[in-house]
Amino acid sequence: MDFLRGLMLGQYVPAESPVHRLDPRTKILGTMWLVGVLFATRSLAGLVVLTAFLGGVLAAGRIAPAYAVRGLRPVFWLVGIAVVFQVLFGDSGGHVLFRRGPLVVTRENLAAGAFYGYRLILLVAATTVMTFTTSSVELTDGLERLLRPFRRVGVPAHELALMMTIALRFIPTLFEETETIMKAQMARGAEFARGSLVARARALIPLLVPLFVGAFRRADALALAMEARGYRGGEHRTRMKELRVAVRDYVAAGMLLVVAAIVLLPPSVWRAVAGR
Amino acid sequence: MIRCEGVTYVYQRGTPFEATAIEDVSLEIAAGDAVGIIGATGSGKSTLVQHLNGLLRPTAGRVYLDDVDINAREVDRRRVRQQVGLLFQYPEHQLFEETVTADVGFGPRNLGLGPDEVRHRTARALAHVGLDPAVFGPRSPFTLSNGEMRRVAIAGLLAMEPRMLILDEPTAGLDPASRREILDHIMRLRSARGLTIALVSHSMDAVARLCRRVIVLDRGRVVAEGATRDVFADPGRLAALGLGVPQVAECARLLRERGVPVRPDVLTVDEARRAILDALAGRRPAPKNVP
């Protein structure tokens, strides 16, 4: 009965792998690039190529495929809903497969629904692969560095990164605390999964009040600890781990370009390349 | 009576974070007994006690309360939790109501009791932990001191009127006076109401004062079990497991090393005083090198 554990979407999996060692900036930009390609492609073949590529990254990152699929489970619901909407409310016209009263299912809508659903899964999978292989500290370091050029136009890069670090840092803590408080109230006879909707909403009060009190207490303690260590924001801070772009990052970038080319260039171009 | 048979629990099964917290634990806690559960950090104490009232379901093995498997489908886990009260670490973190009375009454209300009975039990439970219901009842729990909040949380469990009380580090993070006070209340509850007690603690002194029997856990397994006096008489073994002995037992050991023949199995200050006086008076056979 590990409450809530299933919700931990794409939690970092520490391991030694070429993907883990990549510069976080490469992984962030690479993921954005993949998402872009994902939305640009109109063909099923493109999605298949991207699936194969993500599978390859997962294998190189030493993530068990079964674990990755488990992490995607919550998304399947969303995808299911999206597909149903597409099928029910998509364009009229086309080959009718099924008709009952106002309900019309066409082959075109079904295919489009499957395509969009699959794309959504791949979208989440791409970002999950990144979070599987990048610790939250690396992630925010990379993000801060990427945002630095925008400081000139008033983007508080360091502060944003710090907020993100803190938020990410406390997510597992809050989950743990939620679990403990739930159990503690259950030990006093509370029920969280029984009764009417109103009863269930009311049952959350004994959970939420202590959770908020605890979050404020933690925030207080953290602020005090940071001040006690002389924290003064982003100016003149040096880092223990400097980000450096290595050869493997260029290799990864090259692979991303090749994948994009395969997916996006129309078949005629490839035929011309092959024919020459 | 509670009995565990071959209980194993694995956290986050089927993920890269899989970890076995307790393995093949079998134990028995008889009605009216007071049992200490000790072990180094991460030895599985907290995981183990959450099995005793059905909050965790064992990955393998069974837990019986009066010979009924508490994880059987037809068993109402809420009834089990009413009979076996479990106090979590830092229980003051679960307080949520506007007044102390309302918070302590949470458990009885969940049991479906009428308002009169709830009021009765709340007042009684507060009195049991030494808080005057008339004074503390109407106050907000968030205005109390740490020790008082802890006692309100304990009262919240007592108001369920359990037969057995499991306390996970009930005195952690409190000042010595509050610590002593809470232990006193627990001891009084045991003698006055015949509560069965299981105490999880890093404080060997608390265990020595309160418990008749001790179960020692190490990396998820039971490695020693016996009368408190016998377990603490072997400080070498406990030290190997990363555990200490009560301060008076340590004191007795040091005295013996310096040639004063004090009994090794002392648990309380009173016993130690008597043992040292006996040793000094030579009422026990002294080793030859002591004049």
**Which residues in chain B are contacts of A181 at CB distance < 8 A?**
93-94
- Within a domain: B83: no
Range list of H helices, chain A: 18-21, 24-40, 44-60, 65-89, 107-133, 136-147, 157-187, 197-203, 205-228, 247-264, 267-275
Give Dmax (Cα) for chain B. 71
Q: Would you say residue B117 has pLDDT above 90?
A: yes
Candidate from A13, A184, A190 with C-beta closest to B110: A190
**Which residues in chain A are contacts of B57 at CB distance < 8 A?**
1
Q: How many CB pairs under 8 A join A and B?
A: 71
Please compute the mean of the pLDDT values over residues B47-67 and round it to a whole number.
93
Of B3, B21, B36, residue with least CA distance to B215: B36
- Domain harbouring B222, CATH code: 3.40.50.300
Residue written as tokens 């009454």?
B105
For A36-74, the pLDDT digits (tens) are 999 998 888 889 999 999 999 999 999 888 888 877 877
**Which residues in chain A are contacts of B12 at CB distance < 8 A?**
2, 5
Candidate from B57, B93, B160 with C-beta closest to A188: B160
Please compute the mean of the pLDDT values over residues A143-164 and round it to a whole number.
87
Q: Would you say residue B192 has pLDDT above 60?
A: yes
Please name the residue of chain A whose CA is at the shortest distance from the CA of residue B12: A2
The CA distance from A24 to A45, in Å, is: 29
- Within a domain: B12: yes
Q: Do B66 and B113 have their domain in common?
A: no
The CA distance from B135 to B145, in Å, is: 14
The CA distance from A267 to B247, in Å, is: 81
Q: Are B137 and B169 in contact (CB under 8 A)?
A: no
Q: Do B50 and B114 have their domain in common?
A: no
Confidence of residue A234 (pLDDT cuts 50, 70, 90): low
φ, ψ for residue B62, nearest 5 deg: -135, 155
Give the H/E segment covering residue A195: none
Q: Would you say residue A1 has pLDDT above 50?
A: no
Please name the residue of chain B whose CA is at the shortest distance from the CA of residue A184: B88
A17: left (phi over 0), alpha (psi -120 to 50) or beta: beta
- Within a domain: B194: yes
Least trusted range by pLDDT, from A109-123, A234-248, B4-18, B40-54? A234-248
Burial classification of residue B72, based on how many CB atoms lie within 10 Å of its CB (0-12 exposed, 13-18 middle, 19 or more buried): exposed
Least trusted range by pLDDT, from A168-172, B6-10, B128-132, B134-138? A168-172
Please compute the mean of the pLDDT values over residues B48-55 and round it to a whole number.
93
Q: What is the DSSP string of B33-51?
A: -EEEEEE-TTSSHHHHHHH
| The pLDDT of residue A9 | 54
A123/chain B closest Cα distance in angstroms: 22
Query: What's at A79, amino acid-wise?
Result: V
B257/chain A closest Cα distance in angstroms: 44
| The pLDDT of residue A222 | 93
Candidate from A2, A180, A209 with C-beta closest to B88: A180
| The pLDDT of residue B290 | 44
Q: Do B3 and B64 have their domain in common?
A: yes
Q: Do B65 and B99 have their domain in common?
A: no
| The pLDDT of residue A245 | 87
Inter-chain touch A1–B56, beta carbons under 8 Å? yes
**Which residues in chain B are contacts of A183 at CB distance < 8 A?**
50, 55, 88
Confidence of residue A276 (pLDDT cuts 50, 70, 90): low
pLDDT higher at A72 or B136: B136
Q: Do B173 and B46 have their domain in common?
A: yes
Q: Do B132 and B167 have their domain in common?
A: no
Mutate to test the interface with A, among B47, B76, B94, B111 (most CBs of A within 10 A): B94
Query: What's at A236, amino acid-wise?
Result: H
The ipTM, to two decimals, is: 0.87
Q: Do B67 and B199 have their domain in common?
A: yes
pLDDT above 70 as % of chain A: 95
The CA distance from A29 to B48, in Å, is: 46
B181/chain A closest Cα distance in angstroms: 23
| The pLDDT of residue B109 | 94
Q: Give how many domains chain B has, as a whole number.
A: 2
Q: From residue B107, how far is each of A275, B257, B270 by CA, in Å?
A: 79, 52, 39
Q: Are B245 and B235 in contact (CB under 8 A)?
A: yes
The CA distance from B267 to B213, in Å, is: 12
Range of the structural domain that residue B65 is part of: 1-75+163-178+188-228
Range list of H helices, A63-156: 65-89, 107-133, 136-147
Residue written as tokens 């007042």?
B123
**Which residues in chain A are contacts of B165 at CB distance < 8 A?**
none
**Which residues in chain A are contacts of B82 at CB distance < 8 A?**
189
| The pLDDT of residue A116 | 87
Q: Do B99 and B154 have their domain in common?
A: yes
The CA distance from B109 to B192, in Å, is: 25
> How many residues in total does chain B contain?
291
Q: Are B55 and A187 in contact (CB under 8 A)?
A: yes
Q: Are B137 and B129 in contact (CB under 8 A)?
A: no
Inter-chain touch A187–B82, beta carbons under 8 Å? no
Q: Do B7 and B132 have their domain in common?
A: no
Confidence of residue B83 (pLDDT cuts 50, 70, 90): very high
Long-range contacts made by residues B182-187, C-beta under 8 angstroms, separation at least 24?
A: B182/B129, B182/B147, B182/B150, B182/B151, B182/B154, B183/B209, B183/B210, B185/B128, B185/B129, B185/B130, B185/B151, B185/B154, B186/B210
Please name the residue of chain B whose CA is at the shortest distance from the CA of residue A5: B12
Please name the residue of chain A whose CA is at the shortest distance from the CA of residue B16: A13
| The pLDDT of residue B291 | 42
Q: From residue B291, how far is each of A223, A247, B63, B259 by CA, in Å?
A: 62, 80, 56, 10
Residue written as tokens 């400081």?
A151
- Within a domain: B253: no
Residue B68 contacts A where some CB pair is shorter than 8 Å = no
Q: CB neighbours of B129 closer than 8 A, spacing ≥ 6?
A: B151, B152, B154, B155, B158, B182, B185
Inter-chain touch B111–A184, beta carbons under 8 Å? no
| The pLDDT of residue A2 | 47
Please name the residue of chain A whose CA is at the shortest distance from the CA of residue B105: A188
Please name the residue of chain A whose CA is at the shortest distance from the CA of residue B102: A206
Inter-chain touch B16–A70, beta carbons under 8 Å? no
The CA distance from B49 to B199, in Å, is: 9
Q: Are strands B19-29 and B34-39 parallel, antiparallel or unpaired?
A: unpaired
For A27-36, the pLDDT digits (tens) are 999 999 999 9
